[in-house]
């Protein structure tokens, strides 16, 4: 399939997930979006203590907890690539405090609607959700201190562009701290062509070396890939850190 068709399939899958949660909220019949082992809120510690809306935690489709590894500080500006229902944005907002700011970027109107509903429920003000692509971030050069992302970069069909844009919007010395799916071997072209696997965060994933090479080419240093848990045959969840 073409990159355009792949992107459309990704958008449709996550629009459907958002709509299922919005509809669930309207009928007060709670139940999380179905995820595979190693995905979702199980990878977060003490999430109940955060007292966030159920519709924010239900929308968690990631493979890690980037806010736990980003070492956020009071007053920092944070950008979440592919912010979905807003869970990691809200967690970050509480850690950077009123003097800080957190942007969430998502290409899916339905996810943005869900995130803004969740923001209103949570009463968190130092947050702004933006519509856009992670390959073309709608922020200026050097506007953020930290970039986080949770199992989203693997969905992009132009990862070099994602890394370039991430480096562009980070201030010098800014931190890149994401969780993502990483493969333990290169996938074949036939495996990459499996659209259900791609939209499910598997077929589009990079190997460890591909991730490091891509970030280095974009200008990042202090590169680190730390495997956290297995997700299935030949795929793991990993923390990826780098410095602009």
As a whole number, the mean pLDDT across the chain is 88
Q: What is the pLDDT of residues 20-45, one digit of tens each?
A: 888 765 433 333 444 455 555 555 55
Q: What is the pLDDT of residues 88-135, one digit of tens each?
A: 999 999 999 999 999 999 999 999 999 999 999 999 999 999 999 999
State pTM to two decimals: 0.89
Average pLDDT over residues 50-61: 66
Task: Encode the chain in three state secondary structure.
Answer: CCHHHHHHHHHHHHHHHHHHHHHHHHHCCCCCCCCCCCCCHHHCCCHHHHCCCHHHHCCCCCCCCHHHCCCCCCCCEEEEECCCCCHHHHHHHHHHCCCCEEEEEECCHHHHHHHHHHHHHHCCCCEEEEECECCECCCCCCCEEEEEEECCHHHCCCHHHHHHHHHHHEEEEEEEEEEEEEECCCCCHHHHCCHHHHHCCCCCCEEHHHHHHHHHHCCCEEEEEEEEEEEECCEEEEEEEEEC
Average pLDDT over residues 80-86: 94
Calpha distance 106→142 (Å, rounded): 20
**Residue 58: its pLDDT value, please?**
66
Number of domains in the chain: 1
Q: What is the pLDDT of residues 139-191, one digit of tens each?
A: 999 999 999 999 999 999 999 999 999 999 999 999 999 999 999 999 999 99
**Residue 68: its pLDDT value, please?**
80
**Residue 29: its pLDDT value, please?**
30
Domain range spanning residue 157? 3-243
CATH number at 27 reads 3.40.50.150
Best CA proximity match to 85, nearest among 105, 56, 62: 56
């Amino acid at each position: 399939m073409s990159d355009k068709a792949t992107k459309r399939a990704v958008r449709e899958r996550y629009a459907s997930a958002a709509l299922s949660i919005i509809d669930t909220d309207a009928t007060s019949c709670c139940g999380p979006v179905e995820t595979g082992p190693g995905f979702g809120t199980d990878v977060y510690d003490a999430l109940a203590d955060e007292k966030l809306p159920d519709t924010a935690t239900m929308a968690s489709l990631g493979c890690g907890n980037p806010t736990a590894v980003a070492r956020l500080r009071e007053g920092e500006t944070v950008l979440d690539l592919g912010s979905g229902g807003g869970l990691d944005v809200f967690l970050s907002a509480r850690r950077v405090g009123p003097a800080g700011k957190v942007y969430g970027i998502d290409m899916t109107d339905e996810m943005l609607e869900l995130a803004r509903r969740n923001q209103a429920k949570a009463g968190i003000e130092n947050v702004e959700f933006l519509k856009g692509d992670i390959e073309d971030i709608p922020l200026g050069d050097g506007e953020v201190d930290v970039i986080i992302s949770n199992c989203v970069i693997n969905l992009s069909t132009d990862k070099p562009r994602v890394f370039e844009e991430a480096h562009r919007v980070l201030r010098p010395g800014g931190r890149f701290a994401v969780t993502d799916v990483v493969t333990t071997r290169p996938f074949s072209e036939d495996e990459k062509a499996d659209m259900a696997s791609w939209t499910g965060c598997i077929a589009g994933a990079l190997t460890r070396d591909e991730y490091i090479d891509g970030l280095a080419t974009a200008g990042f240093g202090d590169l680190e890939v730390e495997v956290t848990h297995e997700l299935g045959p030949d795929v793991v969840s990993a923390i990826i850190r780098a410095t602009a």
